[in-house]
């Protein structure tokens, strides 16, 4: 598992250089932050299903417990997102346009989200379901860290829940909470085939995250043009 974790760390480091984070750094107000928030909706809601379906699929009691912790720790965070979305857009979440959410414009966000969800069912080993959680979490840490930095710079973090530093702190304490289980996981040598499959899964998921964040960059450019 150590080899797989090292590979996740490598991909995570490369993800930090995604163009989206440069765009994020230029944002000077909550209004500008809202340039990409609507596009995130599909993934934030789908992620909850990924956590639920992943836990349901795992039968090994130890691995199931890890998946359960991941799901419970992130339960309700989609409500924080909906809160922030409403706050940033000045609309209630009932105003979310379903046609838009499933429209052509938002395909660059939906397609990678479906691909990541499909990983839940692809795995031949339940270890891969756990690796899937670790990959998603690693990308989340990059995103939440950089967004929290920017929200702090803008100076309005106290008005937000999902995009505030408090969310990142919750994610990090979650990682610490699981540290004992993770030690046990790291100690377990993975069979070569599972390790190879895990590395490929990590690569596929990070490819999907890169595509998803390309979609966010496109959304930001589009809204920036509209604002001009
Ligand atoms: Fe979360």
pLDDT digits (tens, 9 = 90+) for 157-210: 889 999 999 998 888 876 555 556 666 666 778 899 999 999 999 999 999 999
CA of 73 to the centre of ligand 1 (A): 7
Beta strands in the chain (DSSP E): none
Q: What is the pLDDT of residues 136-165, one digit of tens each?
A: 999 999 999 999 999 999 998 889 999 999
Packing angle of the helix pair 165-177, 61-74 (nearest 10 deg): 160
In tens, the pLDDT along 65-111 reads 889 989 999 999 999 999 999 999 887 766 668 899 999 999 999 99
Query: For residue 9, what are its two tokens?
Result: 């760390």
- Give the span between the Cα atoms of 166 and 148, in whole angstroms: 8
Dist. CA 192 → ligand 1 center (Å): 32
CA distance 55 to 68: 6
CA-nearest of 145, 5, 183, 163 to 86 is: 163
How far does the centroid of ligand 1 lie from the alpha carbon of residue 18, in Å?
21
Quick one: average pLDDT of 4-19?
Answer: 96
Q: What is the pLDDT of residue 124?
A: 86
CA 193 to centroid of ligand 1, rounded, Å = 31
Q: Which two tokens stand for residue 124?
A: 């031949």
> Pseudo-torsion of CA 220, 36, 16, 70, nearest 10°?
-170
Q: How many residues does the chain have?
A: 228
pLDDT tens column, 124-139: 899 999 999 999 999 9
CATH code for the structural domain at 2-89+97-227: 1.20.910.10
If you measure from the C-alpha of residue 105 to the centroid of ligand 1, how many angstroms do you get, rounded to a whole number? Answer: 26
How many whole angstroms separate alpha carbon 28 and alpha carbon 21? 13
**Separation of CA 191 and ligand 1 centre (Å):** 31
Q: Where are the domains of the chain?
A: 2-89+97-227
SS3 state of residue 34: coil
225 Cα to the center of ligand 1, angstroms: 31
User: Rounded to the nearest whole angstrom, what is the distance from the C-alpha of residue 180 to the centroid of ligand 1?
Assistant: 20
């Amino acid at each position: 598992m150590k080899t797989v974790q090292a590979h996740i760390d490598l991909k995570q480091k490369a993800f930090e250089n995604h163009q989206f984070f440069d765009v994020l750094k230029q944002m000077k107000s909550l209004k500008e932050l809202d340039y990409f928030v609507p596009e995130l909706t599909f993934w934030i809601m789908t992620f909850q299903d990924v956590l639920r379906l992943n836990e349901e699929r795992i039968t090994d009691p130890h691995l199931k417990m890890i998946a359960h912790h991941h799901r419970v720790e992130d339960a309700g965070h989609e409500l924080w997102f909906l809160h922030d979305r409403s706050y940033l857009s000045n609309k209630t979440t009932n105003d979310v346009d379903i046609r838009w959410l499933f429209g052509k414009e938002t395909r660059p966000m939906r397609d990678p989200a479906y691909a990541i969800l499909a990983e839940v069912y692809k795995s031949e080993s339940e270890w891969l379901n756990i690796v899937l959680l670790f990959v998603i979490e690693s990308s989340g840490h990059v995103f939440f860290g950089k967004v929290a930095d920017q929200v702090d710079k803008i100076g309005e973090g106290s008005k937000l829940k999902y995009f505030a530093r408090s969310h990142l702190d919750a994610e990090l304490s979650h990682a610490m909470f699981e540290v004992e289980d993770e030690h046990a996981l790291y100690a377990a040598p993975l069979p070569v085939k599972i390790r190879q499959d895990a590395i490929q899964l990590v690569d596929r998921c990070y490819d999907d995250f890169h595509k998803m964040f390309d979609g966010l960059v496109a959304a930001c450019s589009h809204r920036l043009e509209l604002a001009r």
